[in-house]
Amino acid sequence: MSQNSAQDKTEEASSQKLRKAREEGQIARSKELSSAGLLLLGGFAMQWMVPSFGRFFAELMKRPQRFDWQGARDPQMMVHWTAEALINMLWVLLPLFAFLALMLVLLSSLPGGMVLTWKKIFPSAEKLNPLKGLKRMFSSHSLMELLKSVLKILLIGSTLALLLQHQWPTLLMMNRMPPQAAMEQALRILSQAFILLGGVQMLIAVLDVPYQRWSLNKQLRMTKQEVKDEHKNSEGRPEIKARIRQVQAMLARARIEQRVPQADVIIVNPTHYAVAIKYDPQRANAPFVIAKGVDGMAERIRQVAKQHDKMVMSLPELTRAIYYSTRIDQEVPAGLYTAVAYVLNHVLQLRAYQAGKGRKPNPLAPLHVPPELRQPER
């Protein structure tokens, strides 16, 4: 089975693929929705224009009944009358056609918005491939379209039959009506047919719109490998890298603001590195790192520590060792237990002395950092 087969496409389409599909004109469109809107609007517009339509068509039907010897002898006059009738008909129908054309453009862009693309205009090799064509003929999408067509035929046929049954007495009476009244009645029946058919189409569109969205989302699904490849390609773009660094910096700053106030001590390099350490026996068996940073982040850690009256100690070798060997929320290495314990004990003694509950502690003795954990100065 092909790796890109439909069975392997289990991942939802990424925003990048959705954007590319939209640019290529792949949008969830429902022809039923635009057809329904056009029929409804056309029917209501026709009802509104029935009086003017009736007068014009009645006059048009009366014209051949007026016998004129001069017109009968002059072929050019007949041509003139025909051209005049066609022009008058065009002027009467032009507002309706212009309105429907505008509505067709607007309705065609629902849902999904308006997208202009040339790709859908030109034929693609895939569409000309007979094997691909056979596959599309027997696909689930084609089956759904067939079922939808059968449903439309049944509903539209039933609707027209009911309308004809209801209006049959009126149709039989029309040959005894004056021309204008008969034409107006015929246009009213036609507008009713448009409105009823538009309502039927709208019912179908209610089902078709979510189906088209589901079908497009299924078509645009990706394999796990495609997701990985796209992610890899996106990360290689400079603007994506810059955005990732920006987001990471924002998260790091937020973490510093939240966690440094919880630290027992902050050890620094003193300028390049800063590490915030906490000891909580209920959370871990050994002291652990809750925040760390280098350069600008290290400076921010020192600032937040100063704002919250946290002890800051300059221990370059120990700071570098912890920074490079320990992740955030990870316990310090076993080789640094003793050194960190001395630091925490010294902090407790200083706090007690500052609170007037003990004597001033002696300066902290040089701390031992195992050779395998030592890091060179920057």
Domain boundaries, the chain: 27-115+124-219, 255-373
Using a cut of 0.85, tell me whether the model's pTM lies above it: no
Mean pLDDT to the nearest integer, 191-211: 89
How does 131-153 read in b/e, with b if 16+ C-beta sit within 10 Å?
eeeeeeeeeeeeeeeeebeeebe
Polymer length in residues for the chain: 378
- Residue 279's pLDDT is what? 93
Mean pLDDT to the nearest integer, 189-208: 89
Instruction: Evaluate whether 273 touches 298 at the Cβ level (below 8 Å).
Output: yes
- The mean of the pLDDT values for the chain is 80
**C-alpha distance from residue 82 to each of 63, 89, 344 (Å):** 10, 11, 106
Whether 71 has a pLDDT exceeding 60, the answer reads no
Between 148 and 131, residue with greater pLDDT: 148
The pair phi, psi for residue 277, each rounded to 5°, is -120, 145
Mean pLDDT to the nearest integer, 214-237: 76
Write out pLDDT tens, residues 309-318. Answer: 999 999 999 9
- Residue 96's pLDDT is what? 76
User: Confidence class of residue 113 from pLDDT cuts 50, 70 and 90?
Assistant: low
| The CATH fold of domain 255-373 | name from scop (3.40.1690)
Q: Cβ neighbours of residue 306 under 8 Å, at least 6 residues apart?
A: 312
Write out pLDDT tens, residues 316-359. Answer: 999 999 999 999 999 999 999 999 999 999 999 988 888 888 88
CA separation for the pair 142, 343 (Å, rounded): 74
- Residue 268's pLDDT is what? 94
